[in-house]
Structure 1
Amino acid sequence: MTDLATFLNARFDEAEEWVKKHEQKKADAIDGMSIYAKIPHMQAAAALGAAVSLGAGPADPRRVQRDIEAKRRILVRCQEEMLSGIPRLVHFAKQTLWEMAQPDADHPDFREEWKP
């Protein structure tokens, strides 16, 4: 399961890179908006564009970052449970990591043999 934990951490790292890129895009959008905000008839368009760019939906970088942090905590707890040696907890932890990996099942580094 260490390989699966490594796989998951690599996917979390990739997601954090996405967050960094989109946070930079957000900063650039805010900087660009300030130019248009000085032109009265462009203020509404600039505000709308910024609202769309900054978003608060499922792809909101802040939400994605919180999701990554939560998943990293789950991963650590699962690793702790696997070290407990208690069969039921070990199985539950392995199953949890397996389920966490399913969104990336089409990734070239994903391995079916990780299934508990």
Structure 2
Amino acid sequence: MSEDLVTFLHARLDEEADLARLCDGDGRAEWTAHGHTVDLCQGELSGLHPAIALHVALHDPARILREVEAKRRVLARHVLSPATGDPELPWDNRDDCQYDGETWPCDDLLDLASPYGDHPDYPDVPEMDSGLRDSP
């Protein structure tokens, strides 16, 4: 399998980080909810249901940038270890995840990709389409 899934994930993370930076230039703002209002550091968003205000505040740019970096670290750990030419994997001739030895793309990569399943550029990933790795 090609690394289309990893390329796709990097593109989505780039988009999320870029958008977070547009919402706050230095990435340090922490949005806060106060009842029906969200303090966006550069303004306020009011008239919201308190649960919606809290939800918006929990997705402040600083938090999104931390989340993107955490996902990038997961991606960096779960790289492809191709079966061809790999003397460590001659017994089953399969592409494995270098981090956990599972069939690549491993469950962690599939889980990272799952929220983007409705994206128009979502790659064809047979393991996900077949339902073989669905959670119980």
Higher RCO structure (Cα 8 Å, ≥6 apart): 1
**Match in the other structure for 1:75:** 75
Distance verdict in 2 for CA 1:74–1:91, change over 3 Å: same
The structure carrying a bigger helix percent of its residues is 1
Contact residue 8 and residue 123 of structure 2 kept, 8 A: no
SS in 2 for 1:4: helix
Larger radius of gyration: 1
Alignment of 1:1-116 (within 5 A): 1-24=2-25, 52-54=39-41, 57-79=57-79, 82-83=80-81, 89-91=101-103, 94-115=106-127
Greater strand percent: which structure?
Answer: 2
Whether the 8 Å contact between 1:98 and 1:114 is mirrored in structure 2 is no
CA distance in 2, matches of 1:107, 1:67: 19
Backbone CA RMSD of aligned residues: 3.1
Q: Please, what TM-score do these two structures have when normalized by structure 2?
A: 0.55
Structure 2: unaligned runs, 5 residues or longer: 28-37, 42-53, 84-88, 90-95, 129-136
